[in-house]
Amino acid sequence: LNFLQNERQQYVSVSAWVIERWYDEFLYWDPAKYDNITEVKMHHSHIWIPDTTLYNTLVMKDDDQRRLLYAKVSTEYDKRRSYVEFLYPAIYKFHCRLYLQFFPFDSQECHMLFGSWTSDNHDIDYHSLENSVGTTNFLPSEGWSLMGTAGAWQKCLKTYLYKQVHWV
């Protein structure tokens, strides 16, 4: 996780590893028929992948690196579904109003809004495994400190879900 801010142009850039996990009822198979193989790697173009999008992005395009990656698919034949795990690097650039009046004793709060671009909560029911953003591999800065992160899914217009992530 790398976090860069541009005070002059009022934006923040976050480099991170994104992990998306879901169940897919169309990908299951009987391991007994395939040498007891229960897990395979599949190219993204061969499976459905959610169109999770950063709504408040300054750069509206898919991350090209994401398209080169594979997903791990593990069958749960007894439940007639498979578990899919998709891990990819991403760089998010988004607007963040920076208040520098009390520099170097200022505090900033930035928000990232994630959700599906095309699906409502009847098609995709997003859940977080944790309420914060993982900072295990966070690269510290000499000019500022990351005080914390938090995230929560919220409803928008009754049928659309979005996740709001706060950086302080």
User: pLDDT tens digits, residue range 16-73?
Assistant: 788 889 999 999 899 999 999 999 999 988 999 888 888 888 876 655 555 568 899 9
Lowest mean pLDDT among 56-65, 75-84, 94-103: 56-65
DSSP-derived secondary structure letter, 124? -
Query: What's the pLDDT score for residue 166?
Result: 45
DSSP state string for 1-59: -EEEEETTTTEEEEEEEEEEEEEETTS---GGGTTT--EEEEEGGGS----EEETTBSS
Return the pLDDT at 69.
83
Report the pLDDT value the prediction gives residue 12, as an integer from 0 to 100: 81
- The CATH number of residue 158's host domain is 2.70.170.10
124 pLDDT tier (thresholds 50, 70, 90): confident
| Residue of 72, 81, 76 lying closest to 43 (CA atoms) | 72
Residue 15: what pLDDT?
A: 81
Residue 167 CB burial class (10 angstroms; 0-12, 13-18, ≥19): buried
Look up residue 7 and give its amino acid: E
pTM of the model: 0.72
Which residue segment(s) compose the domain that 157 sits in? Answer: 2-167
Q: What average pLDDT does this structure show over 142-151?
A: 63
What's the number of domains the chain is made of? 1
